[in-house]
Structure 1
């Protein structure tokens, strides 16, 4: 019993030394800021380049929090081989999660200026008119595709102007703004030799 009582202070001293010397299990303010700065490099990605500055800050905070949760020791995380691949995977996962959570994010995949340049939408639409278009478009996409992967596969396979996605865009533009998209078929013939 005496040995046990004498060993308790020694164990307590050992435990205090062990926990006092261990690395911090939480990122500090400077480390979080460094990660947010590093995430600015991803701003050029398709979904992220259309976010407002405030939306991007929220997105970057979410990614930084996910990384901190998965890798609580910052120095170990930064020195880890393949850290850039890990960050990119978390960024892409966050993008897919956001698109999955809210189908109205179509404006990030099909930005308004792009749709105007393609002749799908008229120039000069108000923010409310754009929102109405994207709600209509998202509704059609949700009705046509059961999962986000089916939709992304359709986007990747989308190579013609007469695609199902292009038809959905045109239908919404026509329904909301009486804007009709005229499609011209170009047929090329090769002269016989």
Structure 2
């Protein structure tokens, strides 16, 4: 079975007089005659799978906590946070040099190119730092959740799912639940 890999959308479905809420592949909904054969999945089935994944995490939280601690160490040691102070000092010097070159009507194109290159480097460093901080925060939230939760979930909770789950992927034989902390759990269909 060929599955297109597109995202799913929540749909109110009326199938032969039976109304239900299902999730269907966007390409099947928007593209007439689409070749996508991704299965339609009932919302209740999806919710049950997500609750099972969360409960699976809670039931075996010790190994997951260990993994999360390793993930934190990896994220924290990832070249630490790139400092932009050095780039800022270089930029300041180049800007002074650019002013001098422009006043004396000399060619300043090389200096300007270097300024643009350093600005791009600085922007990339800031984006990487923000991404790393986001990872730290998501892992810390998962650890807090695991430490606070004393029992299994009995029913689907939308707020909790939005806080913990990054992505749910539907396969032919299983549903893969990926947590925001990068932990993945497979639930058999």
Under a length normalisation based on structure 2, what TM-score does the superposition of the two structures give? 0.24
**Which structure: greater helix fraction?**
1
Tell which has more relative contact order, 1 or 2 (C-alpha 8 A, sep 6+).
2
Greater share of strand residues, 1 or 2? 2
Q: TM-score, normalised by structure 1?
A: 0.24
